[in-house]
Amino acid sequence: MDKLIGVTHFIHTAQLHSFAEAAKQLHISPSAVSKGVSRLEERLGVRLLQRSTRSVSLTAEGEIFLARCLKIMGELTQAERELHEAKRLPQGRLKISLPLISTLMLPLLSDFSKLYPQIELDIDFSDRLVDVTNEGFDAVIRTGELKDSRLVSKSIGISQFFCVASPKYCSEHGIPQEPKELENHLCLVHRFPSTGLIEKWWMKYAADIPAYVDITPVSKAMVSNHLDSLLFMAVNGHGIAYLPDFSIAEKVKKGELIILLDEWVGMKSEFHILWPSNYAMLPKLRVFINFMHNAFLK
């Protein structure tokens, strides 16, 4: 440490050509700066500075030593900057609660983990109203209206539901042209695991009227409280399912599913992320919010 102090005194004095000016920058006395440089010179066994009553100048040895010192100090500054940035990097455990519908977000979560491998995801899929603060969650993602004065809320995107079926199913059973024709089709229906209620299929009363009514199929080929199973069955030609866009996007892109009745559907659900109001916006949470928001915009 004493060596570093002497070097610091020397660098300031050499650059300012004055012990007094160096002392002002270092917030110490001129005599302390002079003594620090003198001790450095004694240790090195060479004179680094030429002193006069008016100014201070470098000796030949001092010029060589100053160049090396500036390089070393620059590397130290860079090292400190890198350590500081490391503290700001997204890393550590991120405990998140997501609704059960979000199991279909697994491809997104996989992409997030690949992008931020230093973040350890601790995910709880549940439709229950978790106590974010007392249960130690960094944040929760939920749909619909949420009220809790202890939490900060931010919308991360809007999801839209669509009716989908596989090309195989459509070729064998035909394509419904309006919602009432669904009663003649095999339908794959979701039951909420937390309440046991059937999820409603909201569609327009008429294609040109923006008013939605519940047209949940009475005849059902399958009822499940697990959305992944409905997606699987739809892809494999077992019926028509009513699923959120983020869950079907890849399947539609690959041609494994076809969107049906697109002029009639359009009901949307908004996703929010919430975190404790006294919780600092750490990098790990910030990048998660941004990632999910951008994913919904695609």
Summarize pLDDT for 251-276 with one digit per residue, the tens: 999 999 999 998 888 777 788 888 88
Mean pLDDT of the chain: 84
How far apart CA 207 and CA 288 sit, in angstroms, is 37
* Percent of the chain clearing pLDDT 90 (strictly above): 32
Residues 232 and 286 in one domain: yes
Whole domain around residue 240: which residue ranges? 91-298
Residues 143 and 285 in one domain: yes
Residues 250 and 269 in one domain: yes
pLDDT of amino acid 252: 93
pTM of the predicted model, to two decimals? 0.58
Q: Are strands 202-206 and 92-98 parallel, antiparallel or unpaired?
A: unpaired
- The partner residues of 242 in beta bridges, in order of sequence, read 163
How far apart CA 126 and CA 194 sit, in angstroms, is 8
Indicate which CATH number applies to the domain containing 257: 3.40.190.290
Residues 25 and 39 in one domain: yes
Residues 169 and 27 in one domain: no
Using pLDDT thresholds of 50, 70 and 90, give the confidence band for residue 240.
very high
Q: Is the pLDDT of residue 206 over 70?
A: no
Provide the domain count of the chain: 2
Tens-place pLDDT, residues 172-187: 999 999 888 998 899 9
Using pLDDT thresholds of 50, 70 and 90, give the confidence band for residue 104.
low
Residues 49 and 131 in one domain: no
From 70, 88, 106, the end of a domain falls on 88
Better-predicted residue by pLDDT, 138 or 207: 138
Indicate which CATH number applies to the domain containing 17: 1.10.10.10
Residues 114 and 248 in one domain: yes
Residues 106 and 73 in one domain: no
From 59, 88, 117, the end of a domain falls on 88
Give the list of residues 6+ apart from residue 16 with CB closer than 8 angstroms, or none. Answer: 22, 25
Residues 237 and 175 in one domain: yes
Residues 261 and 169 in one domain: yes
Residues 79 and 22 in one domain: yes
Using pLDDT thresholds of 50, 70 and 90, give the confidence band for residue 73.
confident
